[in-house]
């Protein structure tokens, strides 16, 4: 008997393992999930009403913060909505619904607006929490798939995030419903940032770290401050030019006049091409090898502008000048790579 049971389990596990190896079945399931969720998101357009506009305007004109609350997977969505609001100029705080009714309700201050997220709108924690919030005269924005629920009927503004079916085959695990909740949070954040006139400069202020922040605030002046300043005059010998390029280790040198104005550029590539044509380098000067009217960029320009110039001209270095057109440095592609911008 035991042997038969073991054989049955072995056969069952083998069949299950084979099913997981069936690429067509996996791809079919993946496509079904994506289409189901994308259709649910698209349907949100049909569910929008004036309640959204009223909620956005209320938050915009409020002197308080936005408190986002929920339980289970809705709580996870709430933390992401809080992060998006904070990074786009709307101060927000997350408060777990279960913790709220055990002391964390003190997070909600007089002028705060509370966003409650719940698919059913009838979870026990929400039923306890909503009356407590209303007793403090705070406005409630509901993100729920059931406007006729306890939450929907007691909220001041209702954002309908209804879904016909979860992507879960058992229609149990929150999947499609949490996706529509997340989109509704993004809708609020985007509307608010547009009304606030939130610019890329504002965005940089809240994202100073990482490559994203650097693309928004890093300037050419920040890139060149630790670089050498290779330069020669037009009458300098090729030997001096080679030494200058080698010692300054940027693969290039500027050619300047007596007032430090740019008149040319010499790269290590120029040197190699020269040596392939002649061995009489003692007879040559910088003016014989340099490229006139070199590309340059202002010291106060954004680093991303330097990157764009390098890419558009298929070069790896660009000379830097100040407002008086005086030569002040070199930006190398490696500088941009090191900062994580490239």
The pLDDT of residue 21 = 60
What are the strands, taking DSSP E only, across 48-139? 66-70, 92-96, 113-118
Check pLDDT > 80 for residue 133: yes
Which CA distances in Å does 119 have to 131, 180, 181, 305, 317? 18, 10, 8, 46, 55
- The pLDDT of residue 76: 97
- Each residue's pLDDT tens digit, 168-184: 888 889 999 999 999 99
**What DSSP string runs through 3-28?**
HHHHHHHHHHHHHHHHHHT-HHHHHH
Q: Is the pLDDT of residue 1 over 90?
A: no
Q: What is the mean pLDDT of the chain?
A: 89
User: Is the model more confident about 168 or about 191?
Assistant: 191
pLDDT at residue 7 greater than cutoff 90: no
Residue with tokens 């009403």: 49
DSSP string covering 324-335, please? Answer: T-BEEEEEEHHH
Share of the chain above pLDDT 90, in %: 75
Q: Is 89 helix (H, G, I), strand (E, B) or coil?
A: coil
Which part of the chain has CATH 3.40.50.10490? 24-198
The yes-or-no verdict on residue 157 having pLDDT over 80 is: yes
Task: Supply angle C-alpha 158, 163, 169, rounded to 5.
Answer: 150
Q: Which residue has the tokens 């996706």?
A: 179
Residue 217: band (very low, low, confident or very high) from pLDDT cuts 50, 70, 90 = confident
Q: Where in the chain is the domain with CATH 3.10.580.10?
A: 220-338
Evaluate whether the domain defined by 24-198 bears CATH number 3.60.20.10: no
Q: Is the pLDDT of residue 15 over 50?
A: no
**Under DSSP, is residue 248 helix (H, G, I), strand (E, B) or coil?**
helix
- Does pLDDT of 6 surpass 90? no
Average pLDDT, stretch 153-169? Answer: 95
pLDDT tens per residue across span 281-299: 788 899 999 999 899 999 9
d(CA 210, CA 214): 6
Instruction: Report residue 228: phi and psi, to 5°.
Output: -70, 170
- Backbone φ and ψ for 318, nearest 5 degrees, come out as -145, 140
Region of poorest pLDDT, from 55-69, 207-221, 225-239? 207-221
Higher pLDDT, residue 101 or 144: 144
Do 188 and 113 form a contact (C-beta atoms < 8 A)? no
pLDDT band of 22, cuts 50, 70, 90: confident
Nearest to 52 by CA among 158, 138, 154: 158
What pLDDT does 208 receive? 65
Predicted local confidence at residue 126, as pLDDT: 93
Q: What is the mean pLDDT of residues 19-26?
A: 72
Question: Which residues partner with 93 through β-bridges?
Answer: 67
- Averaged pLDDT for residues 312-339: 94
pLDDT digits over 71-119, tens only?
999 999 999 999 999 989 999 999 999 999 888 999 999 999 999 999 9
Gap between the Cα atoms of 170 and 192, Å rounded: 37
What confidence score (pLDDT) does residue 199 get?
Answer: 79
Classify domain 220-338 by CATH number: 3.10.580.10
**Per-residue pLDDT at 207 exceeds 80:** no
């Amino acid at each position: 008997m035991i042997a038969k049971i073991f054989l049955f389990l072995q056969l069952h596990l083998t069949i299950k393992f084979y099913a997981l190896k069936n690429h067509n079945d996996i791809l079919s399931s993946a496509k079904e999930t994506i289409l189901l969720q994308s259709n649910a998101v698209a349907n949100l357009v049909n569910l929008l009403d004036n309640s959204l506009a009223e909620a956005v305007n209320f938050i915009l004109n409020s002197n308080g913060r936005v408190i986002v609350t929920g339980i289970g997977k809705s709580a996870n969505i709430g933390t992401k909505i809080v992060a998006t609001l904070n990074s786009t100029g709307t101060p927000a705080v997350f408060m777990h619904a279960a913790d709220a009714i055990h002391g964390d309700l003190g997070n909600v201050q007089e002028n705060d607006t509370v966003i409650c997220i719940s698919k059913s709108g009838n979870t026990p924690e929400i039923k306890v929490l909503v009356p407590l919030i209303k007793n403090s005269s705070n406005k409630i924005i509901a993100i729920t798939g059931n406007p006729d629920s306890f939450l929907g009927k007691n909220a001041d503004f209702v954002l309908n995030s209804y879904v016909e079916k979860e992507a879960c085959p058992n229609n149990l695990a929150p999947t499609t419903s949490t996706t529509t909740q997340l989109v509704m949070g993004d809708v609020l954040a985007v509307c608010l940032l547009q009304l606030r006139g939130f610019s890329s400069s504002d965005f940089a202020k809240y994202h100073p770290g990482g490559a994203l922040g650097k693309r928004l605030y890093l300037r050419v002046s920040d890139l060149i401050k630790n670089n050498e300043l290779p330069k020669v005059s037009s009458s300098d010998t090729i030997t001096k030019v080679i030494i200058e390029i080698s010692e300054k280790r940027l693969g290039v040198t500027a050619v300047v006049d007596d007032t430090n104005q740019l008149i040319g550029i010499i790269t290590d590539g120029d040197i190699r091409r020269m040596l392939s044509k002649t061995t009489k380098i003692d007879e040559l000067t910088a003016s014989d090898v340099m490229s006139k009217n070199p590309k340059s960029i202002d010291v106060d320009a954004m680093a991303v502008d330097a990157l764009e110039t390098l890419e558009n001209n298929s070069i790896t270095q660009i000379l830097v000048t100040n407002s008086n057109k005086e030569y002040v440095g070199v930006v190398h592609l490696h500088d941009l790579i090191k900062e994580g911008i490239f």
